Amino acid sequence: MEIKVEIKEKAFMKDQKSVQVLDDIHLTFNSGDFITVIGPSGCGKSTLLKIIAGLDVDYEGSVVIGSNEVKKPSIDKGFIFQEHRLFPWLTVEQNIAANLPLKKPELREQVNQLINIVRLNGFEKAYPKELSGGMSQRVAIARALLREPKVLLLDEPFGALDAFTRQHLQDVLIDIWLETKTTMILVTHDVDESVYLGTKVVVMKSKPGKVGHVIPIELPFPRQRTDQTFQEVRNHVLKHFEQLDQYSAVEG
């Protein structure tokens, strides 16, 4: 599904004044892209993602996915929030199934497979309050994947995870992406993560949020962090990121 994002302006009201958050954003993503978005805190990454998801329609411009303009959230756009947003009164497996019938054998099987993938075996009947932040985020990831969305939007999904779990889930996400060709748009503030996962890295700058660079990453998958070419590409992205970040710090 090709995604075309045209945001002329997005503003929020603050102290009865309008504050511009996004300015003149034009992006086109191809079907099957793995887009990563990096930028300083507050530059509007989550806002951009919510607009693409149809969770925020109060802006000037348009988002078109395939041949449809996005006007509201829908089942074909999965969203994983910065914080996990689980139902506290449901168990892990019930949270993953949510509104789908867990009693159905095929669904049961799919849920079990996903629990394996995100390594939550043994916690099927646990409640969110018994889970760590990272475990809760893994439940949220499984919940989104169960719905086999055409576009999966992920807002810093691995921010709360330890390094091992983070790297494991990055690889899981790549496997799923290679297998399903789901278009992924993932926000992160980790340059390493943006290069490890992305086919294109969108580097944003702030005040107001704009796109600074779109850098294609042509390294084949699976990628090796220790490879010299990986390090070179990473340094290249880091340089762009730091330049823009400095620029926005001076401006702010």
Ligand X SMILES: Nc1ncnc2c1ncn2[C@@H]1O[C@H](COP(=O)(O)OP(=O)(O)OP(=O)(O)O)[C@@H](O)[C@H]1O
List contacts with ligand X (CB under 6 A).
Answer: 12, 14, 21, 39, 41-47, 82, 189
Asked if residues 92 and 123 have their Cβ atoms less than 8 Å apart, the reply is yes
37 vs 92, beta carbon nearer ligand X: 37
47 vs 110, beta carbon nearer ligand X: 47
Closest approach of Mg ion to the CB of residue 226, in Å: 30
Closest approach of Mg ion to the CB of residue 152, in Å: 17
Q: What's the rounded Cα separation, in Å, for the pair 46 and 37?
A: 10
Asked if residues 195 and 241 have their Cβ atoms less than 8 Å apart, the reply is no
Q: Which of Mg ion, ligand X, none does 12 bind, CB closer than 5 to 8 A by kind? A: ligand X
Give phi and psi for 128, each to the nearest 5: -50, -35
Tell me the window of 37-45, 93-101, 167-175, 207-215 that interacts with Mg ion (CB under 5 A).
37-45
Please name the residues in contact with 231: beta carbons below 8 A apart, sequence gap of 6 or more.
Answer: none
Please name the residues in contact with 129: beta carbons below 8 A apart, sequence gap of 6 or more.
Answer: 88
11 vs 219, beta carbon nearer ligand X: 11
Interface with Mg ion, residue 160, by CB under 5 A: no
Of 9, 12, 46, 160, the one binding Mg ion by CB under 5 A: 46
Q: Which of Mg ion, ligand X, none does 154 bind, CB closer than 5 to 8 A by kind? A: none
136 vs 206, beta carbon nearer Mg ion: 206
Long-range contacts of 161-168 (CB under 8 A, 24+ apart): 161/133, 161/134, 161/137, 162/134, 165/119, 165/134, 165/138, 166/193, 168/119
